[in-house]
Amino acid sequence: MEVFLNNFQKRFIISLLAFPLIYLLIYQKFFFSIIIYIVFLISFYEWHKINKKKNFLFIVGIFFLILAAYSTITFYFKNSYNFFFLWVLLIVWLSDVGGYIFGKLFGVKKLSKVSPNKTWSGAFGSIVLSQFACVVFFF
């Protein structure tokens, strides 16, 4: 038996662990706020580590991090049952899963040099599965 989990197994286990978290996101608004603040602080720390020079790009990145945290919390609290918020999370999750599966199965042509593991077939799979979530939600 292989000691280390492969990439797919790790992603699958994390996905299973996400289900209790989704329950908490629906019913525990305080817990959700804490999670968003923790994610923001971790993102800020990572952005600080990446940008050694504190220049205009650093400030723009901080602005976008603050905007993302504020938008997420505002969007979450404006919906009474949070199903629309969970639908957005589902689209993001299916987009990631579709990109990973299609990229692994059919990935030949690379999408860019910036991220060498991204392929055109992965991008297509990402679009297909995220659109599937849209169709299922609206019908």
Q: Give the integer Cα–Cα distance in Å for 62 and 46.
A: 11
pLDDT for res 82? 67
- Does the pLDDT value for residue 1 go beyond 50? no
> What would the pLDDT profile of 20-68 be if each residue is shown by its tens digit?
777 777 777 788 888 888 889 999 998 888 887 778 888 899 999 999 9
Measure the CA–CA gap between 125 and 97, rounded to whole angstroms: 8
pLDDT score of 66: 93
Provide the Cα torsion 43, 44, 46, 48; round to 10°: 160
Residue at token pair 């996101």 = 25
Q: Quote the mean pLDDT of the chain.
A: 81
Specify whether the CB–CB gap between 57 and 71 falls below 8 A: no
Q: Count of CB atoms within 10 A of residue 89's CB?
A: 15
Most confident range, picked from 1-5, 20-24, 54-58, 86-90:
54-58
Distance CA 83, CA 16 (A): 19
- Average pLDDT, stretch 110-129? 84
- Using CB atoms within 10 Å of the CB of residue 93, give its burial: 0 to 12 exposed, 13 to 18 middle, 19+ buried: middle
Percent of the chain residues topping a pLDDT of 90: 9
For the record, the structure tokens of 123 come out as 């991008």
pTM: 0.59
Q: What is the pLDDT of residue 65?
A: 93
